[in-house]
Structure 1
Amino acid sequence: MSPLVLILLSVLAVGAVGLAFAPGMSGGGRADKRIKALSAGERAGGRKRRDDPKKKLSERRKSLQDILDEQSDTNKKNKRVSLKKKLAHAGMRVSVGAFWRNAVIFGSLVFIVAWATGVPLLFALVFGAAGTYVVPMWYVGRRTRKYQAKFLDEFPNAVEAIVRGIQSGMPLNESMRVVASEAKEPVKTEFTRLVEQQAVGKNMAEAVPILFERLPIAEVNFFVVVITVQQQSGGNLSEALGNLAVVLRNRKKMKAKVKAVSSEAKASAGIIGALPFVVTIMVSLVTPTYMVPMFTTPTGNLMLGIAAFMMAFGVFVMSKMIQFDY
């Protein structure tokens, strides 16, 4: 074999070995780069797909937190409300002007009766002022508590009726319309107002908060938050409202249990509060002249005033002791 052929074969052999062990010389480096880029893209895509549910959950939580913050701001604003809203909270359909007119008439009657029965003019004025403002506002507060309690008795049934309507294929507004037509008062009246708000062009997310404005209680707040979150973020509304109905019934049971446990304390407070008046009446029946100086002398009037203030303060403290937040 000639030296030239031997050199040529040697070069070819070295080149073949180089191509076998150095693929970068034949473009393998670019292929590796493409493979690495493709693998990185797949990992990024997989990570993005895996992060999507977390992102949605985070957005949902943020939406819920925004709604809760908005409801909290509304609650703070509702702590000091106007008389018009207080009358609405009590379910009273009287206007503000008519309410003050009736309050002034009642206070004037109290003043006239007190002055005609021999009460000094200063105390008669105090009684008249109390009859004009304190007694009417106490009546509004009492009506508000009774109205809210009556609403809460029927509210879980209304929520369950909405759940059954949604599960049967009815839209949410139609389910509320059924509740507005078939529920008991005052749920019927409040849901009728809710349906009327939708009839004038408001969507569900805008109409539902009006229910909380008229009934600023925790149970209604829960209902508003559930509806608002579902309207903004989606989700299984029937399941959420079903869970809410269970919560409402559990809160109702808890209220009944607390009422039963605190009944003894309430009875004791009633007896202690009524005892001074009962003793005064009994002493006056046994000895009619014994209590006369309390009403005819300045010292007796002063003592009556102090006693009335202490009694009012004691009744206030006892009422706070026997009231519980659920």
Structure 2
Amino acid sequence: MSPILLAILVMVCVGALGFAFIPSLAGSSRASKRMKALRADVQVRRQTVSADQIRETRRRTVQDALKQQSDALNARRAKKTLKHRIFQAGIKTTPKVWIRNCIILGVAMLVVLVVVQVPLLFAAVLALGCAYVLPNMYLGWQRKKYQNAYLDELPNAVEAIVRGVRAGMPLNDSIRLVAREVKEPVRSEFMRVLDQQSIGKSMAEAVEVLFERVPLPEVNFFIVVITVQQQSGGNLSEALSNLATVLRNRKKMKAKVKAMSSEAKASALIIGALPVFVIVAVSVISPTYLSPLFTTSGGLICLGIAVTMMAAGAFVMNRMIQFDY
């Protein structure tokens, strides 16, 4: 082998060893940067995976809480006994007193019908129907009136809680402020929440009494927000602020639906009142013309069929103008 070739081989070997043992000559700064970037990417991936796991765990926790809350509230909503209906209507009476008043109403109606010479059988049927239908109609009307008054004031109560929480007050003190400042019937309902806390219940358990009196979706939203925040944490003021916005939007939608259905309600009222108006007008013009309708068995049967058909028509028209919002 020639000396020149040997020298070249030696230089190549020395250069290779130099590149191997002196990283700075091989541009190791770029390699180190790539290693650091790789480590950073690995750390970012680990943090992303950890955040995703935390988010998934929290999501499952919230889902479980919502499911438990929904099942509990649905079980309570299923209670439709007379005691619960009276309680939800805001009437301060007992079922025994209510049943006694219904019996008195039925007896009074029977006496009136007998005095006006209605056959005893028909008088008893009409009195029994009035004793059952009229009190239930009044109870439903009073219950709806109480719920509407509650929903009108609930957004103000939620916003008051938001202001208190943002000012640094605990949730209990914010609810106590609502129980002092807002209007009825929300004030007394939040007082019941404070009473439940005073006997040792947690906030998540105490707010459930609101749904017993007013079983509405809006109240369910408020209970779910409080329950989830108590179990899994989160920004309570922001959640309640969003809830207040949702409640006001639902209130606007309810007013819009009421305005849209007002024409149909007026038409239904006119159609329903037209037969009564005709009967009164004919009785004034010719008092004896409709007397067989009330004095004969066939006339009473026809009158009963007509009243039944009118009631069925009124029910159908009422269902036609009911809208979900």
* TM-score, normalised relative to structure 2: 0.85
**Does 261-270 or 45-54 show the bigger shift?**
45-54
Residue identity in the other structure for 1:242? S
Query: Does the C-alpha gap of structure 1 residues 167 and 76 become closer, same or farther in structure 2, counting only changes over 3 Å?
Result: closer
Q: Which runs of 5+ in 2 are unaligned?
A: 1-12, 21-37
Task: Tell me which residue corresponds to 1:138.
Answer: 137
Matches within 5 A, 1:235-246: 235-246=234-245
Query: Does the C-alpha gap of structure 1 residues 48 and 315 become closer, same or farther in structure 2, counting only changes over 3 Å?
Result: same
Task: Pick 1 or 2: higher relative contact order, CA cutoff 8 A, min separation 6.
Answer: 2
Task: Tell me which residue corresponds to 1:64.
Answer: 62
User: 1:80 deviation in Å?
Assistant: 4.4
Tell me the distance in 2 between the aligned counterparts of 1:228 and 1:75: 12
Query: Does the C-alpha gap of structure 1 residues 48 and 85 become closer, same or farther in structure 2, counting only changes over 3 Å?
Result: farther
Deviations 1:53-100 (A, max 9, x none): 222222222222223323432454323421111111111111111111
User: 1:52 deviation in Å?
Assistant: 2.5
User: 1:122 deviation in Å?
Assistant: 1.7
Tell me the distance in 2 between the aligned counterparts of 1:61 and 1:295: 68
**Does 107-116 or 273-282 show the bigger shift?**
107-116
Tell me the distance in 1 between the aligned counterparts of 2:197 and 2:234: 21
Deviations 1:4-45 (A, max 9, x none): xxxxxxxxxxxx99xx7xx9xxxxxxxxxxxxxxxx999887
Task: Tell me which residue corresponds to 2:269.
Answer: 270
| 2:125 equivalent to 1:126 | yes
Task: Tell me which residue corresponds to 2:50.
Answer: 52
Deviations 1:197-218 (A, max 9, x none): 1111111011111111221101
Tell me the distance in 1 between the aligned counterparts of 2:60 and 2:302: 61
Task: Tell me which residue corresponds to 2:173.
Answer: 174
Tell me the distance in 2 between the aligned counterparts of 1:93 and 1:262: 33
User: 1:168 deviation in Å?
Assistant: 0.6
Tell me the distance in 2 between the aligned counterparts of 1:254 and 1:97: 39
Q: CA RMSD in A?
A: 2.2
Contact 2:73 2:211 in 1 (8 A): no
**Does 247-256 or 76-85 show the bigger shift?**
76-85
Query: Does the C-alpha gap of structure 1 residues 60 and 120 become closer, same or farther in structure 2, counting only changes over 3 Å?
Result: farther
**Does 112-121 or 292-301 show the bigger shift?**
112-121
User: 1:119 deviation in Å?
Assistant: 1.4
Aligned residues: 294
Task: Tell me which residue corresponds to 2:86.
Answer: 87
Task: Tell me which residue corresponds to 2:190.
Answer: 191
Query: Does the C-alpha gap of structure 1 residues 294 and 75 become closer, same or farther in structure 2, counting only changes over 3 Å?
Result: farther
Contact 2:221 2:243 in 1 (8 A): yes
* TM-score, normalised relative to structure 1: 0.84
Contact 2:159 2:241 in 1 (8 A): yes
User: 1:51 deviation in Å?
Assistant: 2.2
Tell me the distance in 2 between the aligned counterparts of 1:269 and 1:71: 40
**Does 44-53 or 138-147 show the bigger shift?**
44-53
| Partner-residue secondary structure (3-state), 1:262 | helix
| 2:286 equivalent to 1:306 | no
User: 1:46 deviation in Å?
Assistant: 5.7
Task: Tell me which residue corresponds to 2:35.
Answer: none
